[in-house]
């Protein structure tokens, strides 16, 4: 199918002053609405009994030693991930969807139901901490690669429209997620979790866009160089940066008291300022002064040390290690030889071994069987509907306001509704912190899958309608 590259059938763009005024009003209304939701939510009763925040794991068998156990589990993870990934690619879906489904299939939701003994043999309890460490390392390195892909030029090009659309696609699902928390708190929040932490986390989880998956979809459809692709990538990049900052704020609140949260936020802000104001110029200056910018083994080792060090710093500050890795990656120019070489060297190890391990680790924590009643499934459908309405609706309204036509706005809204792996990272953080319960975790995983699977076919249909309209 020939894809039309020019999607600029737009009306007159509003002035910068008008966009700025509406944007400021949007922020004020959002903050006011959230405080109103918070006031209502704090009156709600919490869970009477504690809800476990980790999935149950089978007992370990004694017939295998530790190393063979880990190797067997990794073999199962890689083989299953490749098979499911290839099947999804055949169906026109991103490979990552198949790998996520493979991870869930290897957990108690499918493998454990078919043969609990076989699952116990392949994934005994004593290797769970090892798989967890490998999964976290994989996510840290993956977020570094995401940072390397971040094109700051896309944020500067059409900056006003990009930021307005991006933040509207965050604010709307955030508020809807906070409203949804009013209905979910008494039933699905773990005992002892404040409504504020629960509502903030649910709002952020609704606001995520999977920048790498979105980029892959655009590349597959040969849209990455089109105006739609450039706007979508710019919006997704700004969306990710903003959402990760919001998540860092929520993590700071969830992990400590208000005073500690303020300290965490101040330290995080200082570290970001240091990286942007000092580290990034130093890296750019160093790269421009080098005649040979190829990535040597020694340089690769020092970059890895810097990645792990930055991750360690943000973890010690009180936010997750992935923020440090992402931030360092964003400081390296995305179009430099070093960034391209590092992506080439690291991508296969991360995508073939470590990320499928993260999916399997997530799968062992996803217990779809916990959705045992009709009302649970209705609430899961409600989550999917609210997440889609927030992302799609917020993006479309903002896109139309900035001058884009209806079909382009709808295409952009469909793309921004892609959640994929980024959502799973956020959900695992929430489960580790005890902010969400296993049943809500399972619902949100299903939401991430549903919204990502829907992206490609809906986008292809919208593009087909555009081609048909242009040919008439």
DSSP 190: P
Q: Report if residue 91 sits inside a domain.
A: no
Q: Report if residue 236 sits inside a domain.
A: yes
Q: Which CATH number does the domain housing residue 389 bear?
A: 1.20.1530.20
Q: What is the pLDDT of residue 444?
A: 92
Q: What is the pLDDT of residue 54?
A: 46
The answer to whether the CB of 417 falls within 8 A of the CB of 206 is no
Q: Report if residue 222 sits inside a domain.
A: yes
- How far from chain centre, in Å, is Cα 398? 22
First to last CA, the chain: 16
Q: Report if residue 315 sits inside a domain.
A: yes
Residues making up the chain, counted from first to last: 472
Residues 6+ apart with CB under 8 A from 264: 248, 251, 252, 255, 256, 317, 318, 319
Burial letters 155-191, b for 16+ CB under 10 A, else e: beebebbbbbbbbbbbbbbbbbbbbbbbebbeebbbe
Q: What is the pLDDT of residue 471?
A: 64
Count Cα atoms within 13 angstroms, Cβ side, for 367. 15
Closest CA to 147 of 356, 338, 353, 362: 338
Residues 6+ apart with CB under 8 A from 171: 26, 27, 30, 394
Residues 6+ apart with CB under 8 A from 103: 77, 81, 356, 358, 359, 360, 361, 362, 363, 366
Per-residue pLDDT tens digits for 10-67: 455 566 667 677 767 877 788 788 788 877 877 777 664 444 444 444 444 444 478 8
Q: Report if residue 93 sits inside a domain.
A: no
The number of folded domains in the chain is 1
Closest CA to 427 of 411, 439, 412, 409: 439
Per-residue pLDDT tens digits for 306-363: 999 999 998 888 777 888 888 888 888 877 788 888 888 888 888 888 888 888 888 8
Closest CA to 226 of 408, 71, 103, 74: 408
Count Cα atoms within 13 angstroms, Cβ side, for 247. 28
- How far from chain centre, in Å, is Cα 151? 17
> What does pTM read for this prediction?
0.76
The answer to whether the CB of 206 falls within 8 A of the CB of 179 is no
Q: Report if residue 237 sits inside a domain.
A: yes
DSSP 279: I
Average pLDDT over the chain, rounded to an integer: 80
How far is residue 128's CA from residue 133's CA, in Å, rounded to a whole number? 9
Residues of the chain predicted below pLDDT 50: 1-10, 48-64
Q: Report if residue 58 sits inside a domain.
A: no
Residues 6+ apart with CB under 8 A from 393: 172, 413
Q: What is the pLDDT of residue 111?
A: 87
Q: What is the pLDDT of residue 59?
A: 47
Q: What is the pLDDT of residue 74?
A: 92
Q: Report if residue 7 sits inside a domain.
A: no
Q: Which domain holds residue 254?
A: 138-349+371-471
The answer to whether the CB of 64 falls within 8 A of the CB of 79 is no
Q: What is the pLDDT of residue 428?
A: 87
Per-residue pLDDT tens digits for 149-168: 776 665 565 556 677 787 78
* Helix boundaries (H) for 189-257: 195-207, 211-220, 227-255
């Amino acid at each position: 199918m020939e894809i039309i590259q020019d999607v600029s059938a737009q009306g007159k763009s509003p002035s910068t002053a008008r966009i700025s005024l509406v944007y400021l009003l949007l922020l004020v209304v959002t903050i006011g609405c959230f405080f109103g939701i918070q006031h209502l939510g704090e009156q709600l009763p919490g869970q009477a009994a504690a809800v476990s925040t980790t999935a149950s794991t089978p007992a370990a068998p004694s017939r295998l030693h530790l190393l063979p156990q880990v190797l067997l589990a990794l073999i199962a993870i890689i083989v299953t991930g490749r098979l499911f990934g290839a099947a999804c690619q055949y169906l026109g879906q991103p490979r990552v969807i198949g790998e996520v489904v493979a991870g869930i299939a290897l957990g108690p939701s499918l493998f454990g139901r078919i043969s609990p003994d076989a699952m116990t043999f392949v994934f005994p309890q004593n290797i769970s901490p090892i798989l967890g460490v490998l999964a976290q390392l994989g996510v840290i390195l993956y977020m570094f690669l995401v940072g390397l892909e971040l094109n700051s030029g896309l944020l500067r090009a059409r900056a006003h429209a990009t930021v307005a659309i991006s933040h509207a696609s965050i604010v709307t699902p955030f508020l809807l997620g906070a409203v949804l928390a009013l209905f979910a708190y008494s039933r699905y929040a773990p005992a002892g979790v404040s409504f504020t932490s629960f509502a903030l986390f649910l709002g952020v989880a609704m606001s995520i866009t999977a920048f790498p998956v979105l980029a892959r979809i655009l590349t597959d459809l040969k849209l990455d160089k089109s105006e739609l692709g450039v706007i979508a990538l710019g919006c997704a990049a700004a969306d990710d940066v903003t959402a990760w900052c919001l998540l860092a704020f929520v993590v700071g609140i969830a992990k400590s008291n208000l005073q500690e949260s303020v300290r965490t936020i101040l330290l995080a802000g200082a570290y970001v300022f240091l990286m942007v104001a000092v580290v990034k110029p130093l890296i750019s200056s160093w790269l421009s002064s080098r005649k040979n910018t190829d990535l040597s083994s020694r340089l690769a080792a020092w970059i890895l040390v810097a990645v792990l060090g930055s991750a360690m710093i943000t973890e010690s500050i009180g936010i997750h290690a992935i923020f440090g890795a992402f931030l360092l990656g964003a400081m390296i120019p995305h179009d430099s030889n070093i960034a391209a070489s590092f992506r080439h060297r690291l991508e296969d190890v991360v995508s073939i071994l470590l990320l499928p391990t993260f999916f399997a680790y997530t799968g062992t924590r996803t217990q779809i069987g916990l959705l045992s009643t009709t009302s649970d499934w209705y609430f899961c459908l409600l989550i999917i509907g609210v997440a889609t309405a927030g992302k799609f609706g917020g993006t479309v309204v903002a896109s139309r306001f900035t001058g884009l036509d209806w079909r382009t706005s709808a295409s952009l809204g469909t793309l921004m509704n892609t959640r994929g792996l980024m959502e799973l990272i956020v959900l695992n953080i929430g489960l580790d912190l005890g902010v969400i319960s296993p049943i809500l975790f399972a619902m949100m995983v299903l939401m991430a899958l549903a919204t990502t699977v829907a992206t490609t076919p809906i986008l292809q249909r919208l593009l087909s309608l555009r081609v048909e309209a242009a040919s008439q």
